[in-house]
Amino acid sequence: MKKLIKQIIFAVTFLTIIPGPKKLNITSEDTGRSMAFYPVVGVIIGIFLFLISRYGYISAFTTSIFITVFLLLITRGLHADGLIDSFDGFLSGTKDTDKILEIMKDSNIGALGFIAAFSVYLIKIALIYELLTRKGINYPYYLMILPALSRSGVPFAVYLFKYPRKKGGLGRDFFSSIGITQVLISFFITVIFTLEKGTYKNLLLAPAVFIFWLIWGLICKKKIGGMTGDTIGAGIELSEVFSIALILSISGLKF
């Protein structure tokens, strides 16, 4: 039990600005296995989104911007950095894997990465606005589960795809200790979080997000031979956009 708590605390402190104990004694095994609890971290983030939407609501447009900015701040821009780096490399025009990885590691922000990230956040704001204004949809609830959904497929992608860098990198420890157990835990935690009384349509959410991560992983495999910390961060950002669009798409279903 202590090991599980330690892994959850590590996941929270790694993915957010929420502080934790200074000495956790995290091993490389704990690093990978903590990914099973990414949906738990997502719900913690989602609770803040719920509170913003319920008690900080000004207008749909302003609130959608607040939510987008809050997501950037609470994650320290970690995923945004991965999004920019990934698109800098993927859109660079070269097919050389080592060159793409080198571009992604460069700390300078390229024009293509900036434009891609800017576009993603504009789309996210627009979709959140649509979520807030769509009639008959329980938007506080969906905002609460949104970060859990988008992070749920991370262990699945890490389990399926190898780490392509030959030396170092933030993601190596995560890839070396992930197992099918972490994938299943993440999936079923997400399914439980997404259950809504009186309807079964939300059962479509977790499988659809896992399919998204499979497709994103295949794109990364084609480009760089696998997935890195940057592409995982990019995947989380893209998965948030996909998840909102998915929620809006199924909102009209009756079953």
Place of tokens 């499979």: 214
Q: What CA–CA distance (Å, rounded) separates 26 from 12?
A: 13
* 161-190: pLDDT as tens digits: 999 987 765 567 788 889 999 999 999 999
Confidence of residue 255 (pLDDT cuts 50, 70, 90): low
* 74-124: pLDDT as tens digits: 999 999 999 999 999 999 989 999 999 999 988 888 899 999 999 999 999
Query: The pTM is what?
Result: 0.94
Identify the sign of the CA torsion 102, 106, 108, 109. positive
Q: What CA–CA distance (Å, rounded) separates 239 from 218?
A: 15
* 116-146: pLDDT as tens digits: 999 999 999 999 999 999 988 999 999 999 9
| Neighbouring C-alpha atoms within 13 Å toward the C-beta of 146 | 32
* 42-55: pLDDT as tens digits: 999 999 999 999 88
The answer to whether 156 touches 186, Cβ cutoff 8 Å, is: yes
Tokens of 119: 């576009």
- CA 53, 58, 59: angle at the middle one, nearest 5? 90
The answer to whether 174 touches 66, Cβ cutoff 8 Å, is: no
